[in-house]
Amino acid sequence: MLGLIVLVDSTRPETFRETNRIIDFFTAYRDAPYVIAANKQDHENAWSPDELRLALRLNSDVKILPCIATERETVKNVLLELLYVIMQRSSEE
């Protein structure tokens, strides 16, 4: 595993605790870089990436990206950002 995308339904705060468990599980398995894709950003009740950062208690170095899973461009942006994070991590090693 070179990296991980964690897709979060930003309209369902009741699932945020499970998101942290998923992150903990995979990062315990391997210290791989990851990004958070804040899905459903087109919904009126969606939590913003900044609100998600607070709710998930994530450091500022973790990228949280707005996403609409049915829109190709936002999905591409998430994938590209993960690649950039992987490349940055590998250049630091």
Sort 72 into a burial class: Cβ within 10 Å, 0-12 / 13-18 / 19+.
exposed
Stated pTM of the model: 0.91
- In this prediction, residue 1 carries a pLDDT of 84
Pairing mode, if any, of strands 63-66 and 4-9?
Answer: unpaired
d(CA 33, CA 53): 16
Helical packing angle, 49-56 and 16-29, nearest 10°: 70
Low-confidence ranges of the chain (pLDDT < 50): none
- In this prediction, residue 93 carries a pLDDT of 72
- In this prediction, residue 20 carries a pLDDT of 92
d(CA 18, CA 75): 22
